[in-house]
Amino acid sequence: MTSGDCVEPEWDAFISHASEDKDAFVRPLAMALMSLGARVWYDETSLSLGDSLSQSIDKGLARSRYGVVVISPNFMAKAWAQHELSGLWTRDLHGHGRILPIWHGVDRETVAAFSPTLADRVALITAGGEAEDIALKILAEVRPDLRAARPRAELIANADRLAMESLQAEIGELRERLSEFQCPICGAELAFQIEAPIDEEEKHWDLRRTFACGYQDFAGDVEAECRLSEKTG
């Protein structure tokens, strides 16, 4: 028995997954579980700037009661998947944690080719199911006390609320990234931009941007006003 096996579990579940599956399934699953009260080790919320990735993952593996493994074609193609899976199997065999497999876009034959032992485990299947429904089934296993404490409708409502807040945050970040491609006055899209010199010696260059509304700026100075704002003003 290693020293890590004696450490009190810090998380209810560790989510092992491929980054390509985040947007479609893993992030909504993790957010739903956390909104339901489960303590989840999930890279986007458990890692901080400057953390050692391998050390943080090993710590998450060692201090989680369950290992939720999202098995997908993307996951099976990752070299590090075997490392995380080996850590989870070791804890499972020694009674320090259980593996809860989720099949995401795979069937038994595919999983068996990747890991015959894993294919023998009863798994949750994402096909036709929402992340929130999968989260409730996982919650019943990892935290039956939380699952029994509130009715399903209330749990789903909480999961949906957190998912909506996460979506709104993503939309806000996307809008901020897109703002440089929109007129700062009316929001019209960028028509074209070109680099041009800002001094006679042509030593310094900057972007001249022209938007669909006629607004034009260059090196921070407005060269043409927004025609749409003039109409509505």
156-195 b/e with 16+ CB inside 10 Å = b? bebbeebbeebeeeeeeeeeeeeeeebbebbebeeeebee
Which of 202, 18, 44 is CA-nearest to residue 106?
Answer: 18
Residues recognised as catalytic: 84
Token readout for 209 is: 């941007």
Amino acid type, 11:
W
Q: What is the DSSP string of 30-46?
A: HHHHHHTT--EE-HHHH
Burial of 130 per CB tally in 10 Å (0-12, 13-18, 19+): middle
Query: Which range (52-56, 57-61, 134-138, 212-216) has the least confidence?
Result: 52-56
Token readout for 130 is: 């929402």
Instruction: Kindly state the average pLDDT of the residues 12-29.
Output: 90
Please write the tens of the pLDDT for every residue from 198-221.
888 888 899 899 999 999 999 889
Pairing of strands 205-211, 216-218: antiparallel
Please write the tens of the pLDDT for every residue from 30-41.
988 888 889 999
What mean pLDDT is reported for the chain?
A: 81
Q: How confident is the model at residue 103 (pLDDT cuts 50, 70, 90)?
A: very high
What is residue 99's three-state secondary structure? strand
pLDDT at 5: 47
pLDDT at 200: 83
| Residue 181, pLDDT above cutoff 80 | yes
- C-alpha dihedral (97, 116, 131, 55), degrees to nearest 10: 50
> How far, in whole angstroms, is CA 166 from its chain's centroid?
10
| Residue 227, pLDDT above cutoff 50 | yes
Q: Is the dihedral of CA 162, 165, 170, 173 positive or negative?
A: negative
Architecture per CATH, domain 3-176, reads as 3-Layer(aba) Sandwich (3.40)
Kindly state the helix (H) or strand (E) to which residue 164 belongs, with its residue range: helix 152-178
Q: What are the extents of the domains in the chain?
A: 3-176, 182-232
pLDDT at 209: 93
Q: Is the dihedral of CA 56, 31, 64, 67 positive or negative?
A: negative
| Residue 4, pLDDT above cutoff 50 | no
Cα distances (angstroms) measured from residue 161 to each of 18, 32, 41, 135: 25, 9, 20, 14
| Residue 110, pLDDT above cutoff 90 | yes
Are the beta carbons of 139 and 146 closer than 8 angstroms? yes
What's the rounded Cα separation, in Å, for the pair 126 and 14? Answer: 18
